[in-house]
Structure 1
Amino acid sequence: MKVRRLLWSGWWLWPLVAVCVADTFREQAVRIMQDTPVIDGHNDLPWQLLKKFNNQLQDTKADLNTLTGTHTNIPKLRAGFVGGQFWSAYTPCDTQNKDAVKRTLEQMDVVHRLCQMYPDTFVCVTNSSGIRQAFRDGKVASLIGVEGGHSIDSSLGVLRMLYHLGMRYMTLTHSCNTPWADNWLVDTGEDEAQNQGLSPFGKRVLKEMNRLGIIVDLAHVSRATMVDVLSQSSAPIIFSHSSAYEICQHRRNVQDDVLQLVKQTGSLVMVNFYNDYVSCQEEATLSQVADHLDHIKKVAGAGAVGFGGDFDGVSRLPVGLEDVSKYPDLVAELLRRKWTEAEVRGALADNLLRVFEAVEQVSHHAQKPEEEPIELDKLEGSCRTKYGYSAAPGLYHQPVTLLAALAPLLLSGYLL
């Protein structure tokens, strides 16, 4: 009885103990992140700069030191220990067959200009060694991810030029099919499959990305496209901002059998923070994001886990993950769940660096590039010209093909 009274009399200590333990985990998170900062797979700040300022970055309201109304600015990046960021060069699906290439180039230009305007904070890099150097220099390694295969307008030449301008991953589709790859809405029935995964031209795009050293991103693609790529890519791939289907059964998330392929190929799933993909509801919590990380770790291994917050690209974020400054709180939660320091460092940066280095090792610029263009009849757009198609061998409108089509009519005497 006396013991019970003593325990009860000290009830007020338990909240203090909990706070102290929580503080210990966060202190450990900060210590880890001071030399292994987070590399985030997907941030849409360039899109916000287009919407808010029409890419006029010299507008005083666009100053990233004081920018408000976004999930991302320089003080928040510093507080969140963000040391590497794939900035999204995004242009919506309604630009397909119109001005997608122009719009993509403009968004890539935004990333380059951010590095020029804020050299003490950002440094534009194009390889894994550049990320490591940025870590040592205390800067945010800034890389370009092009979000949506429609940005290359079904052109291998455009793909190559975007690479030369700094693109280091490309999401094969956004929420629309390209003429050569199917998107995730095919799996919901909201869109119709055109390619059952990758078309023959899509496979040439994949080979060229491997040759150049562009990371293949499978966020937004259909399950069939995921399987095609994971079975045919000669380098590991990423999901730059997707979560675990088993935890939230949304088709933008990755199913367990695909996670097994991720494990087999040494690939990476960078978990998305959008509430609809975290909880399948309008509300979500930091703890539920950690559930996704736990599940991917369980199924695909600790080496398959990363962070792809989708900040400034979504309208709803979990309680506790309201902006990019909150990364240490998520890391503290993983430590509380008994993730080892090595596993945490992997999720923060080491897993992405491993994938990036593997992509670089597979690349082979001395190898002859893919040259065969997409078939003319796969392209749409009333303003599209046809230069090259009429004369080039192996393409459409060949005389032999035309004669073969007319032969039955000639034999019947219909055309005589």
Structure 2
Amino acid sequence: MKHLLFLLLSFSTFAQDIHFKSILVDTHNDCLTACIEKNVSLDQDLTGINHSDLARFKKGGVDYQLFSVWCDGEKANPYVWAMREMDSLYAVAARNSDKLVIAKTWKDIQRALKEQKLVAQFGVEGGHMIENDLQKLETFYNRGVQYMTLTWNNSPSWASSHADEKNPSFKGHKGLNDFGKKVVKKMNQMGMLVDVSHVGEATFWDVINTTTKPIIASHSNAYSVCPVSRNLKDEQIIAIGKNGGVIHLNFYSAFVDIDFWQKDEAFRKKHSSEIDSLVGAGMQMEYAFNLIGDKYAAESDAIKPDLEQLMKHFDHIVKLIGVDHVGLGSDFDGINSAPKQLKTVLDYPVFTQALIARGYSNKDISKVLGGNFLRVYQANH
């Protein structure tokens, strides 16, 4: 027993060493929206309130975070809302210049990493936030936006989402229209990464045929493992590999395990009156779900999948296109459920342990944790 304990401790120490020596990039965290919805600040101790805060990013080994800028399709003046979310991070950065840098160039990134400060950039989650205006897209880029998810679940007039494409009552244009193709070309020109998470299949293939740069899926999994429209089908995964892009794994239980949907629906139905009350008080629906999940944590935890189910997505993508095309896009603070072992940003080392257990080399683990994203970032600039 003593020998077994020693081996387990040695394995854990080895994993921690690899984890903290690698540059860890997470391409999708919704903590800016969560902080606004909950009226808290990222530089507070948000243990028990959010999945993330500034101090816990450091403790979890996160070196480079792309902060999601999000609002649903019902929000009035989405561009103004997006700017407010960015302002909130700029305020945190001004108060914590010794810990956090909003990086706009490769030199900024290198300098921040050397000084052991958190590299912070934005990812706009939903093309509706540019309000059909390329100048607003350019303003986003100048403020530190490094990717834009072309659609959220709703569709701007120029691109169709996964949700709308499967909706028989959707009357809009499927795929990218001419303006949508201009958006992609403008992003290529500026160096803003095109993100295909949330987009419909018609939009996806139009992107593949339009872009001249490698793309990303900032927070998506494999449809073959969990068949929901938010995940990528095998032919899409292969196309991203051929494009030189990277697929970043989403931790959301409903995109990890198909059996979770029914369990979560029952959970939400049980607590529907409280959810409705929060929405009625002005909270966006997604965050009402999250708050109820936190309130009834034991009940919520009982229906979560195991980490091994997420690793099935990783294995499937690697089998199709190789280890050079996978990364992490947790969706922390934008989800109400993740695999049991991945409760907060403190738990990233557990994912690294899972990679070691699969026999991946230090070099390959470093690629997955952040190196693959850094390659695609440079290829877009």
TM-score w.r.t. the length of structure 1 is 0.78
Of 16, 19, 32 in structure 2, the residue corresponding to residue 30 of structure 1 is 16
Q: Distance in 2 between matches of 1:229 and 1:22?
A: 46
Q: Distance in 1 between matches of 2:119 and 2:248?
A: 17
Identify the residue that residue 318 of structure 1 maps to in structure 2: 339
Identify the residue that residue 72 of structure 2 maps to in structure 1: 92
Letter of the 2:380 counterpart: V
How far residue 193 of structure 1 moved from its aligned partner, in angstroms, is 5.8
Structure 2 counterparts to residues 131-210 of structure 1, below 5 A: 131-189=109-167, 192=170, 194-210=172-188
Question: Structure 1 residues 48, 297: closer, same or farther in 2, change over 3 A?
Answer: same
Q: What is the root-mean-square deviation of aligned Cα atoms in Å? A: 1.7
Identify the residue that residue 370 of structure 1 maps to in structure 2: none
Q: Distance in 2 between matches of 1:69 and 1:21?
A: 35
How far residue 231 of structure 1 moved from its aligned partner, in angstroms, is 2.2
Letter of the 1:93 counterpart: G
Identify the residue that residue 30 of structure 2 maps to in structure 1: 44
Letter of the 2:13 counterpart: E
Q: Does 1:267 align with 2:245?
A: yes
Give 1 or 2 for the bigger CA radius of gyration. 1
Identify the residue that residue 109 of structure 1 maps to in structure 2: 87
Q: Does 1:119 align with 2:93?
A: no
How far residue 127 of structure 1 moved from its aligned partner, in angstroms, is 3.0
Identify the residue that residue 61 of structure 2 maps to in structure 1: 81
Structure 1, residues 282-340: CA drift from partner, whole Å, max 9, x if none?
32111211221111111111111000000000011110000001011111111101112
Structure 2 gaps, min length 5: 261-303
Q: Does 1:298 align with 2:319?
A: yes
SS for the counterpart of 2:226 is coil
Q: Does 1:70 align with 2:50?
A: yes
SS for the counterpart of 1:93 is coil
SS for the counterpart of 1:51 is helix
Structure 1, residues 1-53: CA drift from partner, whole Å, max 9, x if none?
xxxxxxxxxxxx3xx65554443333222212323231001001100111011
Identify the residue that residue 297 of structure 2 maps to in structure 1: none
Structure 1, residues 210-230: CA drift from partner, whole Å, max 9, x if none?
111111111110011111112
CA contact (8 A) 1:65 1:75 kept: yes
Identify the residue that residue 341 of structure 1 maps to in structure 2: 362
Q: Distance in 1 between matches of 2:44 and 2:377?
A: 28
Structure 2 counterparts to residues 262-411 of structure 1, below 5 A: 262-282=240-260, 283-360=304-381
How far residue 100 of structure 1 moved from its aligned partner, in angstroms, is 0.8
Moved more, 204-213 or 291-300: 291-300
Letter of the 1:83 counterpart: D
CA contact (8 A) 1:181 1:199 kept: yes
SS for the counterpart of 2:74 is helix
Q: Distance in 2 between matches of 1:294 and 1:246?
A: 12
Structure 1 gaps, min length 5: 1-12, 361-416
Q: How many residues align?
A: 338
Question: Structure 1 residues 338, 314: closer, same or farther in 2, change over 3 A?
Answer: same
CA contact (8 A) 1:241 1:309 kept: yes
Q: Distance in 2 between matches of 1:280 and 1:126?
A: 38
Structure 2 counterparts to residues 2-41 of structure 1, below 5 A: 13=1, 19-41=5-27
Amino-acid identity (%): 30
TM-score w.r.t. the length of structure 2 is 0.85
